[in-house]
Amino acid sequence: MTASQTAEPSSNGRQPHPVSSGPVVQLPTAFGDFVTQAWTDLVTGAEHLAVSSPNAPKDGKAPLVRLHSECLTGDVFGSYRCDCGEQLAYALEMIAENGGTLLYLRGQEGRGIGLANKIKAYALQEAGFDTVEANEQLGLPVDARCYKAAAQILAEMGLHEIRLLSNNPDKQNRLATAGVKVVEMVPTEVPSREQNLRYLQTKKDRMDHLLTLDTETAGMPRTGTDTFDLEQD
């Protein structure tokens, strides 16, 4: 096990965020064969998981990296209210084929507001609020996530320059602030659904996510209060 040293600043002058790591083990999956390593944020106690291809990136390119925020409803139960589970599957397929790492960031449910508050936000969305308005109605941040631990994990894995699998420019900006250079944004847009189109439109319009939203393939959104949104990227 290794732990970040907090006594000395990193090469970019920033104080390292303390994390510790466990052993690297094999992880065969439906998406391919990976190696995995658990990491602990020594400030919050959150336990994260790095899932990496054992193969070097193709053509000497920077490795693909996905920062995937935990989403129980989408990742485990396959919720159609979001695109999280489908983005997770797509990222693993891309990393298996091209090389890189997926960081599964726990404690970031509902863009950092937690599972119980996410369900409360769902109730407000069913009353007509969008994903941003629902958080505001609860007195919560629109996005409460922190990427300091993720950036430190990437640094300790030697991933200082990456191609980021994301539709969210804010992740690129936050990683840059933490000292990780994003040399390319690689889109992870998956086909939208009738049930999540309003949520995705809100992310595009109000959170600057890089989405095209082909409504011809997604189907037009339902009217009234039965279209859902919330989740994350």
How far is the CA of 220 from the CAs of 105, 110, 175, 197, 210, in angstroms? 32, 25, 35, 8, 20
In the chain, the amino acid numbered 12 is N
Contacts of 143 (CB under 8 A, 6+ apart): 111, 112, 170, 207, 232
Task: Answer yes or no: are the C-beta atoms of 48 and 67 closer than 8 Å.
Answer: no
Is 14 an active-site residue?
no
> Catalytic: which of 145, 163, 174, 193?
145
Q: Are 180 and 155 in contact (CB under 8 A)?
A: yes
Residues 6+ apart with CB under 8 A from 96: 31, 32, 33, 34, 53
Element at 175 (helix H, strand E)? helix 169-177
**Both tokens assigned to 198:** 């309003």
110: tokens are: 């509902």
Residue 67 to residue 88: CA distance in whole angstroms = 10
DSSP state of 119: H
| Bridging pattern class, strands 161-165 and 181-186 | parallel
- Annotated catalytic residue within 83, 130, 143, 233: 143
Q: Let me know if 208 is a catalytic residue.
A: no
- Pairing between strand 64-69 and 161-165? parallel
Catalytic positions are: 143, 145
